[in-house]
Chains A and B, each alone.
Chain A
Amino acid sequence: MNLYEELCKDYRFREGLHTCINCGTCTAICPAAEFYRYDPRRIVDIVQRKNEDEIEALLKSDTIWYCGECMSCSTRCPRTNTPGLVIMALRAMSIRHGFFTASEKGRQVYPLTKLLTGNILNYGYCVYPETFKWEDHQESGPVFKWHLEHLKDDFERIGANYQGTGPGVLRRIPQEDRDELKAIFDETGATDQINLVERCSKAKAEEMGMTLEEYGKYTFEYNSGNDFDK
Chain B
Amino acid sequence: MIYQGKQKIWADYQKEIPDDHWYYVRSCIRQNFFPGSEKMFTKITRDDLGLDMHENAHHTTCGGIAYHCDTIPQETVMTIVARQFALMTEAGYENYCCSCITSFGNYIETLESWHEFPELEARIREHLWKSCKREFNKPKYIAHTSDVIYKHRNEIAEKAKFRLVDKNTGEPLRGVEHIGCHYNKMFPSKGVGGAEYPYVLCGMIESWGGQVIDYPERRHCCGYGFRQYHIKANRGYSFANTHKKFESMEPYHPDFILTNCPGCPYFLDRWQYVTAETEGKTYGRNGCGIPVFTYEELASLVLGYDPWDIGLQMHQVAVEPFLDRIGIEYDPGAKYLGVNKKDLGRPSLPEHMVCF
In Å, the complex CA distance between A107 and B64 comes to: 21
Q: Map CB proximity to B onto A120-143 as digits: 1 under 8 Å, 0 otherwise.
A: 100011111100100010011111
> How big is chain A's contact interface, by range?
35 or more
B212 at interface by CB-CB < 8 Å: no
Supposing A158-B35, A184-B131 touch, asked if A153 and B315 sit within 8 A by C-beta, the answer is no
Asked if B60 contacts A31 (CB within 8 A), the reply is no
The answer, among B31, B127, B188, for a CB contact under 8 Å with A188, is B127
Asked if B116 contacts A68 (CB within 8 A), the reply is no
B314 at interface by CB-CB < 8 Å: yes
In Å, the complex CA distance between A194 and B65 comes to: 16
- B-chain residues with CB within 8 Å of residue A112 when the two chains form the complex: 69-71, 227, 230-231
A171 at interface by CB-CB < 8 Å: yes
Chain-B contact segment, one of A39-47, A48-56, A173-181, A204-212: A173-181
Chain A nearest CB from B259 CB (Å) reads 15
- A-chain residues with CB within 8 Å of residue B271 when the two chains form the complex: 139
Asked if B39 contacts A159 (CB within 8 A), the reply is yes
B186 at interface by CB-CB < 8 Å: yes
Chain A binding surface, main DSSP class: helix
Which of A125, A129, A193 has the largest count of B CB atoms less than 10 A from its CB? A125
The answer, among B35, B223, B313, for a CB contact under 8 Å with A68, is B223
Asked if A68 contacts B338 (CB within 8 A), the reply is no
Supposing A167-B56, A183-B132 touch, asked if A155 and B35 sit within 8 A by C-beta, the answer is yes
In Å, the complex CA distance between A185 and B59 comes to: 16
Chain B stretch 146-193: residues in CB contact (< 8 A) with chain A: 181-182, 185-186, 188
Asked if B185 contacts A117 (CB within 8 A), the reply is no
Q: 18 extra interchain contacts, Cβ-Cβ under 8 A, other than A68-B228, A116-B72? A: A10-B74, A12-B74, A32-B237, A34-B244, A70-B185, A72-B220, A88-B74, A108-B227, A109-B70, A112-B227, A142-B348, A146-B348, A150-B344, A158-B310, A171-B57, A181-B80, A187-B79, A223-B233
Asked if B56 contacts A144 (CB within 8 A), the reply is no
Chain B nearest CB from A15 CB (Å) reads 7
Supposing A169-B38, A183-B131 touch, asked if A142 and B350 sit within 8 A by C-beta, the answer is yes
A97 at interface by CB-CB < 8 Å: no
A170 at interface by CB-CB < 8 Å: yes
In Å, the complex CA distance between A111 and B83 comes to: 27
Asked if B347 contacts A143 (CB within 8 A), the reply is yes
Ordered by A's residue number, 8 sampled pairs between the chains whose C-beta atoms are within 8 Å are A31-B241, A95-B70, A108-B231, A109-B70, A119-B66, A126-B64, A168-B55, A223-B234
A7 at interface by CB-CB < 8 Å: no
The answer, among B61, B130, B355, for a CB contact under 8 Å with A120, is B61
Chain B stretch 246-289: residues in CB contact (< 8 A) with chain A: 270-271, 273-274
The number of residues on chain B lying at the interface, defined by a beta carbon within 8 Å of a beta carbon of chain A, is: 95
Asked if B233 contacts A157 (CB within 8 A), the reply is no
In Å, the complex CA distance between A88 and B117 comes to: 18
Supposing A112-B230, A139-B235, A189-B73 touch, asked if A75 and B32 sit within 8 A by C-beta, the answer is no
- B-chain residues with CB within 8 Å of residue A174 when the two chains form the complex: 57-58
In Å, the complex CA distance between A68 and B198 comes to: 21
B6 at interface by CB-CB < 8 Å: no
- B-chain residues with CB within 8 Å of residue A178 when the two chains form the complex: 60
Asked if A11 contacts B117 (CB within 8 A), the reply is yes
A220 at interface by CB-CB < 8 Å: yes
B221 at interface by CB-CB < 8 Å: yes
Chain A nearest CB from B199 CB (Å) reads 16
- B-chain residues with CB within 8 Å of residue A82 when the two chains form the complex: 186
A6 at interface by CB-CB < 8 Å: no
The answer, among B105, B270, B338, for a CB contact under 8 Å with A71, is B105
